[in-house]
């Protein structure tokens, strides 16, 4: 199957996948496998439901996605109609999820696990949208007239239509919703299939939560190439031996996760000889993987699987470069592995602090894989996304990543971050979002959060807080846990009478970092 011009939207491509692989497994769970034929039937029914609710191209739905089969089908039904979906974390604090819904303004909120009914009901009420539980027993019947209406709607979906909105941390305390188009994702699928040689015999271990952009690779490159997907529930992620056994039992061939997950499993000695014997590619990204730690993984798996370091911001469709590790990369085990060369269909500039082209500086990504912008947020879109007017790149879209890189012989190497953004546990976090959440607590007068790298492979969040009244750090952390997800909770909270200032009157973060080294 080749990607040709008639695949101008994702639905057209996936209709071909459904026709070619109807009898093959699409979703693989411990209790049962579901075929592409079954998946296609659910998509038809859910598209009927969306149309009956009045949704059309350009509308938005939100999905409390806990990796149940119907949630995957709903994503595909929305894509067929040109409806954008946003996956939300059912376990995230309601205050933060509510801000996500305010920005994305969904017409409907779905969820797939009745255990979260109370929180989902509160969210739907605050947003003023209808709430629906995804349930097999309530799927509507589909007539031939319904199918024809869906085909008509699908033909109206052009490549610039928003496919999904993926939220990342925002420095103002309001998360940013990256709007990714059908065209963006079609390029990712074509690249992923060729780069990894994906066939219908592959099985993707879907480890990443569906609200995290690493899941985009699993879902789109896996299912849109006719491979199967093995959803991994969050409850398994904290059980290293059960997790590895589960992935091994599914005969997974493709693993994609953040490096910290792999380092944890290596440290727990969960990758015992004989397990995961079907793996042929271990892909990792979302944060740096220190080579001193990566060497351990390489020694364990290089005889059977390729180890591939991938890089890419959410704003550029998940992945924009990939680098396959070899033995020569470990002659020097200091630092991080290369980011490699940019994928085909990407252009780039590296700009120094004076916005001049350089071999070291901020990486700016250019081309048709750059997302449409931040949904319903023109101000922040204008600050990060630019239309180039220079004649040599006239009217191309460019995204300023904030990542500092060095280019050597065309190969990119990560240097650091330009702003106050960090990668922690695979998540991109604006430290200001945590600070904004802290100062929302009535006892807190001022807050500053720094990232302390404790060793080459690990780091932790440390919060400095000045309070208006006496309070202990545990009480503040408990209150903060109601405002931010677990991965944003500081490992340590330090109370101070007031925060130190520099000569400009700003919080002296350099001084605060130095305190941690004393």
pLDDT band at 504 (very low <50, low <70, confident <90, very high): low
The whole-number pLDDT of residue 514 equals 86
Average confidence (pLDDT) over 411-426: 85
Residues in the chain: 518
Contact call for residues 163 and 185 (beta carbons, < 8 A):
yes
pTM assigned to the model: 0.89
The Cα–Cα gap between 39 and 62 comes to 20
Residue 223, C-beta contacts closer than 8 angstroms, at least 6 positions apart: 14, 17, 26, 72, 76, 229
Least confident residue range of 105-114, 168-177, 304-313, 464-473: 168-177
Contacts for 269-278 with beta carbons within 8 Å, 24 or more apart? Answer: 270/240, 270/241, 270/243, 270/244, 271/244, 271/297, 271/300, 271/301, 272/244, 275/244, 275/245, 275/248, 276/244, 276/247, 276/248, 276/252, 276/301, 277/248, 277/304, 278/203, 278/248, 278/251, 278/252, 278/253
Q: Are residues 158 and 66 in the same domain?
A: yes
Domain boundary among 390, 419, 448: 419
- Chain segment 154-187, per-residue pLDDT in tens: 999 999 999 999 999 876 778 899 999 999 999 9
- Say how many domains are in the chain: 3
> Both 449 and 513 in a single domain?
yes
Say whether both 166 and 295 belong to one domain.
Answer: no
Question: So what's the pLDDT on residue 498?
Answer: 86
Least reliable range by pLDDT among 48-62, 125-139, 258-272, 443-457: 443-457
Domain presence at residue 189? no
Q: What is the mean pLDDT of residues 484-512?
A: 85
CATH of the domain at 27: 3.40.50.12780
Distances (CA, A) of 346 to 46, 279, 492: 35, 29, 40
| Listed residues 403, 419, 435: the one ending a domain | 419
CATH number assigned to the domain comprising residue 489: 3.30.300.30
More confident residue, 287 or 495: 495
- Are 485 and 452 members of one domain? yes
Q: Are residues 362 and 243 in the same domain?
A: yes
Q: Are residues 294 and 371 in the same domain?
A: yes
- Predicted confidence at residue 502, as pLDDT, reads 72
Question: Does residue 141 share a domain with residue 51?
Answer: yes
Q: According to the model, what pLDDT value does residue 159 have?
A: 96
Q: Is the pLDDT of residue 280 over 90?
A: yes
Look at residue 508 and tell me if it is in a domain. yes
The pLDDT value recorded for residue 505 is: 65
Predicted local distance difference test score (pLDDT) of residue 423? 81
Domain boundary among 419, 440, 474: 419
The answer, yes or no, to whether residue 218 has pLDDT greater than 70, is yes
Work out the percent of the chain whose per-residue pLDDT is above 90: 79
Same domain for 101 and 120? yes
97 within domain boundaries: yes
pLDDT at position 313 is: 95
Q: Say if 197 falls within a structural domain.
A: no
Q: Are residues 96 and 3 in the same domain?
A: yes
20 and 39 fall within a common domain: yes
pLDDT of res. 459: 84
The answer to whether residue 186 sits within a structural domain is no
Residues 90 and 70 in one domain: yes
- Whether 307 contacts 333, CB under 8 Å: no
Domain residue limits at 45: 1-180
Does residue 219 belong to any structural domain of this protein? no
User: What is the reported pLDDT for 418?
Assistant: 83
Checking if the pLDDT of 454 tops 90, the result is no
Confidence of residue 227 (pLDDT cuts 50, 70, 90): very high
Confidence of residue 377 (pLDDT cuts 50, 70, 90): very high
**Cβ-contact 448, 515 below 8 angstroms:** no
Residues 149 and 265 reside in one and the same domain = no
Q: Does residue 330 contact residue 338 with C-beta atoms inside 8 Å?
A: no
Task: Indicate whether 503 pLDDT > 70.
Answer: no
Is the pLDDT higher at 457 or at 219?
219
Confirm whether 231 is domain-assigned: no
Question: Is residue 201 included in any domain, yes or no?
Answer: no
pLDDT one-digit tens code per residue, 313-358: 999 999 999 999 999 999 998 888 999 999 999 999 999 989 999 9
Classify burial at 250, counting beta carbons within 10 Å of its beta carbon; exposed 0-12, middle 13-18, buried 19 or more: buried
Question: What mean pLDDT value characterizes the chain?
Answer: 93
CB 281 within 8 A of CB 306: yes
């Amino acid at each position: 199957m080749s990607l040709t011009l008639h695949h101008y939207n994702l639905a057209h491509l996936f209709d071909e996948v459904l026709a070619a692989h109807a009898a093959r497994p699409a979703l693989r769970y411990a209790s049962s496998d579901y075929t592409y034929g079954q998946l296609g039937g659910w998509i038809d029914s859910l598209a009927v439901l969306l149309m009956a609710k009045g949704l059309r191209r350009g509308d938005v739905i939100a999905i409390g996605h806990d990796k149940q089969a119907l949630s995957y089908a709903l994503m595909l039904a929305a894509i067929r109609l040109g409806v954008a979906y946003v996956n939300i974390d059912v376990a995230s604090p309601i205050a933060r999820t509510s801000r996500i819904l305010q920005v994305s303004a969904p017409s409907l909120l779905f969820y797939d696990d009745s255990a979260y009914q109370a929180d989902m009901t509160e969210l739907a009420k605050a947003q003023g949208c209808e709430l629906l539980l995804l349930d097999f027993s309530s799927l509507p019947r589909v007539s031939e007239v319904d199918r024809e209406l869906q085909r008509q709607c699908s033909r109206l979906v052009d490549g610039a239509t928003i496919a999904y909105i993926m939220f990342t941390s925002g420095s103002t305390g309001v998360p940013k919703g990256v709007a990714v188009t059908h065209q963006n994702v079609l390029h990712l699928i074509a690249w992923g299939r060729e780069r990894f040689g994906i066939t219908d015999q592959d099985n993707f271990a879907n480890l990443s939560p569906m609200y995290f952009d690493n899941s985009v690779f699993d879902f789109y490159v896996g299912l849109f190439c006719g491979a199967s997907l093995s959803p991994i529930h969050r409850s398994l992620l904290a059980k290293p031996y059960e997790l590895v056994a589960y992935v091994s039992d599914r005969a997974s061939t493709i693993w994609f996760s953040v490096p910290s997950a792999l380092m944890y499993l290596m440290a727990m000695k969960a990758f015992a000889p004989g397990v995961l014997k079907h793996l042929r590619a271990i892909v990792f990204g979302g944060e740096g993987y220190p080579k001193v730690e990566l060497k351990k993984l390489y020694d364990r798996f290089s005889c059977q699987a390729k180890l591939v370091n991938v890089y890419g911001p959410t704003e550029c469709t998940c992945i924009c470069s990939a680098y396959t590790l070899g033995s020569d990369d470990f002659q020097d085990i200091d630092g991080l592995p290369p980011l490699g060369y940019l994928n085909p269909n990407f252009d780039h500039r590296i700009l120094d602090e004076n916005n001049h082209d350089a071999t070291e500086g901020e990486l700016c990504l250019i081309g048709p894989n750059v997302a449409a912008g931040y949904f319903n947020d023109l101000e922040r879109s204008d600050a990060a996304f630019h239309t180039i007017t220079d004649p040599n790149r006239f009217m191309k879209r460019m995204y300023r990543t904030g990542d500092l890189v060095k280019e050597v012989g065309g190969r990119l190497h990560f240097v650091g971050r330009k702003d106050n953004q960090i990668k922690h546990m695979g998540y991109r976090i604006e430290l200001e979002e945590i600070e904004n959440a802290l100062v929302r607590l009535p006892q807190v007068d001022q807050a500053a959060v720094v990232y302390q790298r404790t060793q080459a492979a690990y780091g932790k969040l440390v919060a400095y807080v000045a309070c208006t009244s006496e309070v202990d750090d545990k009480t503040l952390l408990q209150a903060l846990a109601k405002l931010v997800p677990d991965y944003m909770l500081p490992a340590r909270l330090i109370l101070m009478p007031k925060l130190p200032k520099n000569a400009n009157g700003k919080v002296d973060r350099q001084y605060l970092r130095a305190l941690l080294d004393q």
